[in-house]
């Protein structure tokens, strides 16, 4: 059998580093060519074996101490010969300095928290939703304009879900939608509402659909539809996740997509 796909592409495929077109091309090849399938399997296997088994050399404590000392506000931090024990004062000073280094950030975070609490909650919620609506639509537009539609290009949720879970602090529901003329393109990590979120991307005809998901404490709710700058937007809570879906498809198709996402998830 001839090697019609070179190993670099197999490796880049397994690493999720191929562009969308090439990624899909290899997936197609895998479906029709057992040899390609086997090589992808082997590459995945090797990758996993190396990641699980290769030593990650822990930094020795003494070296870390020397690094901390470097940051101490003392001239000539490395003047002492290596054999001599590291001087106490610089290390203590480094710790103090580290603490002060972080404090402004911590303090401002705390202030933001207190500020948010003391404001009228209803106002906060409304303006938050408006701001979020704007963020979601902007994010959708950016994804369709630029190169960065997906981080992981795959029509297989078994590929996309683990990838997203590994990049996020939650595991988003991922499903291919079984709708006519609708294709699952992949996923990416996006940033909305001040946190990293999962974005699932579908293609309906020539239109792109972005479905954003992130955890929330809100109770399940029905989809709330709106339009923003000509885009269809739906938002709802389901299974302890907030969902926002955006697209420029027509309202009827959009409804069908939202329903498909909801039923795919409730079927789980």
Q: What's the rounded Cα separation, in Å, for the pair 24 and 133?
A: 31
Question: Interface with another protein by CB under 8 A: which range of 37-45, 140-148, 199-207, 225-233?
Answer: 37-45
In sequence order, what DSSP letters do the residues of 121-173 get, joined into one string? HHHHHHHHHHHHHHHHHHHHHHHHHSS-S-SEE-S-HHHHHHHHHHHSSS---
What DSSP character marks residue 206?
T
Q: Which token pair is 105? A: 């950030």
Q: State which residue, 22 or 138, has the beta carbon closest to another protein.
A: 22
CA distance 245 to 254: 9
Please identify, among the stretches 23-31, 50-58, 153-161, 229-237, the one whose residues bind another protein according to the rule CB under 8 A.
50-58
Residue 42 sits in the site that holds another protein (CB under 8 A): yes
- Based on the shown chain and the rule CB under 8 A, indicate whether residue 34 belongs to the binding site for another protein: no
Torsion sign over Cα 181, 184, 189, 195 = positive
Q: Which 64-123 residues touch another protein, going by CB under 8 A? A: 64, 66-68, 70-73, 78, 94, 97-98, 101-102
> Closer CB to another protein, residue 8 or residue 219?
8
* Residue 239 touches another protein, criterion: CB under 8 A: no
Is 52 in a helix, a strand, or coil? Answer: helix
Residue 174: CB minimum distance to another protein, A: 21
Nearer Cβ to another protein, position 80 or 256? Answer: 80
Which listed residue (41, 130, 220, 224) binds another protein by CB under 8 A? 41
Among 38, 130, 134, 220, contact with another protein (rule: CB under 8 A):
38
Q: How many helices (H) and strands (E) does the chain have?
A: 8, 7
Nearer to another protein, 50 or 217 (CB): 50
How far apart, in whole angstroms, are the C-alpha atoms of residue 33 and residue 28?
9
Reading the block at residue 256, the tokens are 């069908």
Rounded Cα distance, 40 and 11, in Å: 8
Instruction: Fill in the per-residue mask, 173 to 212: x = in contact with another protein (CB under 8 A), - = not in contact.
Output: ----------------------------------------
H or E segment and range at residue 190 = strand 182-192
What's the closest the beta carbon of residue 123 comes to another protein, in angstroms? 32
Nearer to another protein, 1 or 145 (CB): 1
Size of the residue set binding another protein (CB under 8 A): 45
Question: How far is the C-alpha of 80 from the C-alpha of 190, rounded, in Å?
Answer: 47
Residues within the interface to another protein (CB under 8 A): 1, 3, 6-8, 10-12, 15, 17, 35, 38-39, 41-43, 45-47, 49-51, 53-60, 63-64, 66-68, 70-73, 78, 94, 97-98, 101-102
């Amino acid at each position: 059998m001839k090697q019609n796909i070179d190993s670099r592409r197999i490796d880049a495929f397994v690493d999720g580093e191929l562009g969308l077109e090439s990624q899909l091309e290899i997936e197609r090849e895998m479906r029709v060519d057992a040899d390609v399938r086997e090589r992808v399997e082997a590459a995945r296997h090797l990758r996993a074996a190396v990641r699980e088994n290769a030593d990650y050399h822990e930094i020795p404590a003494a070296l870390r101490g020397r690094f901390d000392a470097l940051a101490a506000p003392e001239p000539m931090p490395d003047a002492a010969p290596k054999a001599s024990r590291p001087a106490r004062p610089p290390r203590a000073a480094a710790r103090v300095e580290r603490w002060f280094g972080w404090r402004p950030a911590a303090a401002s975070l705390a202030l933001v928290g207190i500020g948010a609490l003391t404001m009228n909650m209803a106002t906060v919620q409304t303006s938050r939703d408006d701001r979020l609506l704007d963020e979601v639509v902007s994010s959708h537009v950016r994804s369709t304009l630029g190169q960065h539609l997906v981080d992981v290009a795959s029509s297989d949720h078994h590929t996309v879900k683990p990838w997203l879970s590994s990049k996020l602090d939650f595991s988003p529901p991922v499903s291919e939608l079984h709708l006519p003329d609708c294709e699952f393109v992949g996923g990416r990590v996006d940033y909305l509402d001040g946190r990293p979120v999962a974005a699932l991307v579908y293609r309906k005809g020539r239109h792109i659909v972005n479905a954003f998901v992130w955890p929330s404490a809100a109770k399940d709710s029905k989809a709330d539809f709106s339009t923003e700058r000509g885009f269809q937007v739906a938002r709802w809570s389901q299974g302890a996740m907030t969902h926002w879906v955006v697209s420029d498809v027509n309202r009827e198709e959009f409804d069908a997509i939202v329903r498909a996402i909801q039923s795919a998830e409730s079927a789980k």
